Amino acid sequence: MNRRRRRPYAAAAVTVACALALLATPALTLQAAAAPLPPPPPKKTLEQVRTEIDVLYRQAASATDAYNLAEERTEKQSAEIVRLARMIESGRKRIDTLKAQAGATARAQYRNGGIPDSAQLVLTGDPQLFLDTAGRLREGAKATTDLIGELSRAQAELNTYASEAGDHWTTLEADRVRQAEAKKEINGKIAAAKKLESELAAEERERLRRMEELARQQAQTKWLGSGILAELTTEATPEGREAIESALAQVGKPYVWGAEGPDSFDCSGLTQSAWGAAGKSIPRTSQEQWRLLPRVQPKDMRPGDLIVYFQDASHIGMYIGDGKMVHAPRPGRNVTVAGAGSMDILGIVRPN
């Protein structure tokens, strides 16, 4: 009986507890909603934005150079493999021809008791003539055999080299694929830089442009203040003048990553194209131009020489004299003439 009486009280207790929980929930929600939101991150200064944009574009330039170099090396190795394959095929055909000739000679000698067919023609009663002719023919046969041996050895070496070249191509192709993956990050960096600029108001973008120009002017003034111009020659070689004329003819054309002209350029695409117009082939990327072209002291710089910028050699321009250079600056900018000392100079290289 007692058990039956207690059950309604237990059920009532549970009901009250649930009701209290439900009543408490909105209060907690209201309390949470009333909590202050975290403060927004501080807005970047325009100088911070300018620095960040510069870093992003330079990182993209380095990644682009690495990809272009990997692609160039892979293409060259592919061409080398094709060249070796042709040499091997040509050598194989020549060996087959010589073997056929040697085999025909051997069969003829066997049929005639060891006397070559040609020697049979001189059997006219002159023993000395016969012996001389037979000796020469045997020497010819031996020379053919020796040549086949030499060609076979060369062919074996070619096959070994071709195998090594194929392995090297595999390594280069793997590097190219890695750089292609890295190139995807380039677009992300460019997009990030463009996004930073696009988020600025028109007035801020104009201020940003003026800040960039001011920074370049200050660097140029400092460079000229060193007295460098007094040491530099104004004379260019005939090829250098041609390269300068070609580069200046591109002023106003847009910068595009990886572009080599004729409608757009990146920095090293411009210098390569200009020197190509002057009849001189130079490497494709700014880093390879810095690594492979002869270096000169700043005091010995002359018009037509290439100025390499930043510690990672991620930018390059062509000196045109009077303390100026022509270059393709970065995405969103056009090929232009600027102060040669307007950026951090790594060194000078000379294509001719």
Catalytic residues, which ones? 267, 315, 327
Nearest-5° Cα angle at 72, 278 to 77 = 115
Which amino acid does the sequence have at 305?
Answer: D
For residue 64, what are the β-bridge partners? none
- Contact present, 324 and 340 (Cβ < 8 Å): yes
Which amino acid does the sequence have at 153?
Answer: R
End-to-end CA distance of the chain: 114
Report CA dihedral (20, 24, 26, 28) to the nearest 10 degrees: -170
Q: Is 338 helix (H, G, I), strand (E, B) or coil?
A: strand
275: its two tokens: 């020197």
Residue length of the chain:
352
- Contact present, 243 and 304 (Cβ < 8 Å): yes
- Rounded to whole angstroms, the Cα distance separating 220 from 340 reads 7
How many Cα atoms within 13 Å fall on the side-chain side of residue 9? 5
